[in-house]
């Protein structure tokens, strides 16, 4: 795979020892990974990579998602917000109202 144009990280709440303890995991962030992958495929955004992360320490905003290389942080992410974030990526803009 070539270097991705964007890399999206979704908090999976893993902390030292590997246990999921944070809010993102409890708010079902893992199901958002599948939705995100499906949406990227449906939109032919094949140059975007998705990864889950350990705890991002922003539990009050969970589930949390980060888009690099821009460094955009999004909170309280759900399927509708993922759609808005991907719309913004396609337009080269952040989803302003969703930034943390």
Q: What's the whole-model pTM score?
A: 0.89
Domain span holding position 23? 6-98
Within a domain: 1: no
CATH number of the domain enclosing 66: 3.40.30.10
Within a domain: 86: yes
CA distance linking residue 46 with residue 39, whole number of Å: 10
Within a domain: 37: yes
Within a domain: 19: yes
The number of distinct structural domains making up the chain is: 1
Report pLDDT digits (tens) over 35-89. Answer: 999 999 999 999 999 999 988 889 889 899 999 999 999 999 999 999 999 999 9
Report pLDDT digits (tens) over 65-74. Answer: 999 999 999 9
CA distance linking residue 27 with residue 60, whole number of Å: 11
């Amino acid at each position: 795979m070539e270097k991705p144009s964007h890399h999206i990280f979704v908090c999976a709440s893993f902390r030292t020892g590997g246990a999921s303890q944070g809010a993102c995991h409890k708010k079902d962030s893992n199901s958002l990974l599948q939705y995100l992958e499906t949406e990227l495929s449906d939109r032919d955004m094949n140059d975007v990579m998705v990864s889950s992360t350990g705890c991002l320490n922003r539990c009050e905003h969970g589930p949390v998602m980060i888009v690099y290389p821009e460094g955009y942080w999004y909170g309280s992410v759900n399927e509708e917000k993922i759609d808005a974030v991907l719309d913004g990526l396609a337009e080269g803009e952040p989803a302003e109202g969703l930034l943390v």
